[in-house]
Amino acid sequence: MRPSRLRILAVFLAVACAPVSAGTTYIKAGRLLDVESGRLLADQAIVIEDARIVGIGPAGTTPIPAGATVHDLSAKTVLPGLMDAHTHLHGDADLQGYRALAVSLPAAAIKGAKNARVTLLAGFTTVRVPGSPGYADVALRDAIAAGEVDGPRILAGGVSIGITGGHCSDNNLLPAEYGAVGEGVADGPWAARQKVRQNVKFGADFIKTCSTGGVLSKGTEVGAPQYSPEELKALVDEAHSLGRKVASHAHGATGIRNALLAGVDSIEHASFIDDEGIRLARQNGTVLVMDIYNTEYILGEGEKAGFLPESLEKERRVGATQRENFRRAHQAGAIIGFGTDGGVYPHGQNGRQFSRMVQFGMTPLQAIRSATLVNARLFGIEQEAGALKPGYYADLIAVDGDPLQDVSLLEDVKFVMKQGRVYKDE
């Protein structure tokens, strides 16, 4: 190759491989959903500098800055990037029950990278990962933030903490002679505090615990409490004093109440929540994260996906009641965050839960707010995400049509931008 050609190739490679700096971007939005006012505004424009929004207003009075990259979404509806408060990026839906035992930690880490990308392309620009093996979520969060892997912004829960034989802490699949003990087992208040400290040491953003049994774990009773009130109080106290919020998995009413009285920040699943639980959640401002899409996926797949027969039996007791209690809790004024338990169903289908939330009592706007404003507050990032405003991250998506009329449009997101960078543009 002649030297001049080599130089051209070198320049081309340098430009192609340079870390993407978004520069100035201008978005023409045919319609823009202001999630705070609930209004759909026509012919809007958004000006973005690198990762953040610097201006937003009517297109007619918002000029295109010189040199800006323009994205014409004038045939679409633009809204803030979605957030899922409960997705297990390191798990896959076809690896349930005993199949999960064959997944090594490095394999789980690689699955995480794959699923992070799928989740981002589905329109979810921030997610909370409540529990993953070996702090794989912390590594994934940091790799995404460093631009090494494409994915949503992650809040990492680290290792889930619970009792011996617990739903989210222990490995209950193998007989005693294997000596398998889950990495999150902590019995007693001080052991629970120690595990919180360890999670914080290794980079967890929040703490995940389990205060009842679960559907998908072997040998746990879904309605029965796990952890005593004393243990839960110690765990929450330690987490809060280290500046971390606590998410507690809880299906049964007693375990829900124990977690609420201990001061957790969110209840995951909340399937059998009773009036007292709803009252306490309202009084404390605790967010309920109810994964009401899951049930139809689990019962639809059955043993094909490896779900244990006992899990299917438990799901038949939980699913329909959870949906009715979602309706009750919402009608009673409880705060509901959007969380799906991704990984139980295939990643990327997160948006399917919106229409179930509407079916069980929310308006489309309320369902969208739960995945934006409510989750941003739960994640502690409400000053920079969850809405489209100057100073906020340029995390936004676009869909065809009007999601306030048809919320299922959020199952088919056409445009995804995170921190000013476009990941999808159909």
Contact with ligand ARG (CB under 6 A) among 318, 334, 396, 417: 318
Contact characters 18-57, ligand ARG, x per CB under 6 A: ----------------------------------------
Count of chain residues binding ligand ARG (CB under 6 A): 14
Interface with ligand ARG, residue 131, by CB under 6 A: no
CB of 297 to ligand ARG, least distance (A): 9
Using rule CB under 6 A, residue 322 touches ligand ARG: yes
| DSSP state, residue 131 | -
> For ligand ARG, which is the closer residue by CB, 152 or 252?
252
Write down the least CB distance from residue 319 to ligand ARG, Å.
4
Choice from 189, 214, 225, 403 touching ligand ARG (CB under 6 A)? 214
In the complex, the smallest distance separating the C-beta of residue 341 from ligand ARG, rounded to whole angstroms, is 5
| Ordered strands of the 266-269 beta sheet | 206-210, 245-250, 266-269, 287-289, 335-337
Largest CA distance in the chain: 79
Residues 86 to 115 in contact with ligand ARG, rule: CB under 6 A: none
Q: Which is nearer to ligand ARG, 32 or 215 (CB)?
A: 215
Structure tokens at 21: 């700096």
The residue within the footprint of ligand ARG, chosen from 71, 269, 330, 347 (CB under 6 A), is 269
Q: Say if CB 216 and CB 299 are below 8 A apart.
A: no
Stretch that binds ligand ARG, among 20-28, 169-177, 280-288, 317-325 (CB under 6 A): 317-325
The whole-angstrom separation of Cα 358 and Cα 353 is 9
Residue 298 C-beta: closest distance to ligand ARG, Å: 6
Task: Quickly count: other Cβ atoms within 10 Å of residue 323's Cβ.
Answer: 21
Q: How far is the CB of 215 from ligand ARG (least distance, A)?
A: 4
The least CB distance from residue 139 to ligand ARG, in Å, is: 22
- Give the H/E segment covering residue 247: strand 245-250
103, two tokens: 């997944």
Computed from CA positions of residues 191, 193, 196, 200, in that sequence, does the dihedral angle turn out positive or negative? negative
CA dihedral of 362, 364, 368, 369, whole degrees rounded to 10: -60
Alpha helices in 146-205, H assignment, sequence order: 189-201
| Burial class, 9, CB count within 10 angstroms (exposed 0-12 / middle 13-18 / buried 19+) | exposed
Stretch in the footprint of ligand ARG (CB under 6 A) among 59-67, 69-77, 179-187, 291-299:
291-299
- Cβ proximity to ligand ARG: between 269 and 347 the closer is 269
> In angstroms, how far is the first alpha carbon of the chain from the final one?
38
Say how far residue 66 (Cα) sits from the centre of its chain: 37
* Contact stretch for ligand ARG (CB under 6 A) within 183-191, 311-319, 377-385, 400-408: 311-319
DSSP one-letter string for 347-382:
TT-TTHHHHHHHHTT--HHHHHHIIIIIHHHHHT-T
Q: Name the residue nearer to ligand ARG (CB basis): 238 or 291.
A: 291
Tokens at 180, concatenated: 């398998």
Task: Give me the least distance between CB of 85 and ligand ARG, in Å please.
Answer: 13
* Contact status: 305 vs ligand ARG (CB under 6 A): no
Let me know: does 223 contact 173? Beta carbons within 8 Å: no
Beta bridge pairs of residue 69: 25
255 or 403: CB nearest ligand ARG: 255
Per CB under 6 A, the list member of 111, 341, 385, 399 interacting with ligand ARG is: 341
294 binds ligand ARG (CB under 6 A): yes
Residue 168 contacts residue 208 (beta carbons within 8 Å): yes
- DSSP notation for 25-39: EEEEEEEEEETTTTE
Min CB(63)–ligand ARG separation in Å: 49
Minimum CB separation from ligand ARG for residue 322, in Å? Answer: 5
Q: Please report, to the nearest 10 degrees, the dihedral formed by the alpha carbons of residues 111, 294, 156, 376 taken in order.
A: 130
Which residues inside 53-82 make contact with ligand ARG, applying CB under 6 A? Answer: none
Residue 142: CB minimum distance to ligand ARG, A: 25
Residues 215-244: x where in contact with ligand ARG by CB under 6 A, - otherwise, as a string: xx----------------------------
Residue ranges in 34-156 assigned as alpha helix (H): 105-121, 136-145
344 binds ligand ARG (CB under 6 A): yes
Among 92, 231, 315, 395, binds ligand ARG (CB under 6 A): 315
Binding stretches for ligand ARG (CB under 6 A): 214-216, 269, 291, 294-295, 298, 315, 318-319, 322, 341, 344
